[in-house]
Chains A and B, each alone.
Chain A
Amino acid sequence: MDLNLIANIILWGVVAAVALVAASRSRFLLQEGTREGVLDFFRIIPRIFLGVVGSGFLAEIIPQDLITQSLGPNSGVIGVCIASLAGALTPGGAVIGFALGVTALKAGAGAPQVIAYTTAWALFALQRIIVWEIPLMPPRIVWLRAAVSVPLPFLAAFGAMLIGKP
């Protein structure tokens, strides 16, 4: 059977299960959960659509030689270092790191390098640290988290090289 179909069946099965639990508690929970979920979906759709379609155009105009040379499958450890640094320096927000990561992938970057990039971006997004994390968490914990996260993009990339693309 098609993997895509299986994933959809599992996901919608989970939706049905949590909706049933909500319905068994109260009608209000069922309505509220559905309303919030659908609203969230429509709230984020424009941003993701812009990012997904935009990455196609960006990949088309970006100099491919530059990407293949610095981040291509043969760029090895240096490529992983460049990707991790670029990820850490990419500003936060929910879409930009994925959009740029997939742009690089379409333009010839190696998958482990792209995994290092998105992992570093997810861990270090400076804007998220400043706007959300520091005001909401003890600053010492934030710095400790950033420090212990330094090896993680590299581990992710080497793990990806080790396992290989399925």
Chain B
Amino acid sequence: MVHCEPMPPPPIPRVRRSPFHWSTAVIGVLVVGAATAVYIREGQDRFLAILFADTWLFIDFAPKMLAGCLIGSFIGLLLPREVVARLVGAESGFLGLLLAAFVGAFLPGGPITIFPVAAAFLGLGAEAGTAIAFVTSWTLLGYNRALVWELPFFGQDFVIWRMVVAIPLPIIAGLLARIAVRVISARRGGEPWI
């Protein structure tokens, strides 16, 4: 986590993540079970072949993952989230949506970082579609997530392919949200829904 914050107001809450991950525990149990089954059913040679092939894949991607972590930590320090929130929150309409989608792909960090920033957009007067385009972009196009988490599993070609396909999706989600908000507000006699 970042310890220095050059621009204090408006504060965005920081939440600590608990050190124990349930999903890791579940995966651990699954993996140990599967590995044991492979060892018993297909013998030591097959077991070792799978282990070494995947370990090699992992080692191959480790430098990129380290680079992803370093870029993330430096951008997090150099680009205070409050500044990003003000920049995007001030833009409205389609331009705001585009900017939000762009920023979502480049802002590093996990859900603890991203959701408060999206909430801050709304607090600064951005439309629902802008916040939704931002969250969707972070989920589907975030370089940090792709480099560090997705790449070691799927490899470069697959990840690039998936991301190219996903480029328009945050904009589509944002536009759909804008339309939905307008329709619901109109149904309520012009009273704003969000």
State the A residues within 8 Å of B (CB).
Answer: 3-4, 7-8, 11-12, 14-15, 18-19, 21-22, 25, 28-29, 32-34, 36-38, 40-41, 44-58, 60-61, 91-96, 98-99, 101-102, 105, 111, 115, 118-119, 122-123, 127-128, 131-133, 136-138, 140-141, 144-145, 147-149, 151-152, 155-156, 159-160, 163, 165-166
Contacts and interface: CB of A to CB of B under 8 A. Distances in A.
A12 B67 contact: yes
B110 to A, nearest CB: 8
Contacts of B53: 56
Given A11-B68, A40-B73, A160 B162 contact: yes
A102 to B, nearest CB: 4
A137 B66 CA distance: 30
A48 B58 contact: yes
Interface stretch (B83-91, B94-102, B115-123): B115-123
21 contacts: A14-B67, A33-B77, A44-B65, A53-B51, A58-B34, A61-B34, A93-B27, A94-B23, A99-B27, A122-B140, A136-B15, A136-B119, A137-B118, A140-B193, A144-B194, A151-B176, A152-B172, A156-B162, A156-B165, A159-B165, A163-B164
Contacts of B30: 54, 58
A163 B21 contact: no
A105 B154 CA distance: 9
B51 A37 contact: no
A8 B63 contact: yes
A52 B64 contact: no
Contacts of B193: 140
Interface of B: 1-4, 13, 15, 21-24, 26-28, 30-31, 34-35, 37-38, 41-42, 46, 50-51, 53-55, 57-58, 60, 62-78, 110-112, 115-116, 118-119, 122, 128, 131-132, 135-136, 139-140, 147-150, 152-154, 156-158, 160-162, 164-166, 168-169, 172-173, 176-177, 180-181, 193-194
Contacts of A136: 13, 15, 111-112, 115-116, 119
A60 B34 contact: yes
Contact of A144 (B55, B73, B160, B181): B181
A44 B64 CA distance: 13
Contacts of A141: 118, 122, 128, 131-132, 194
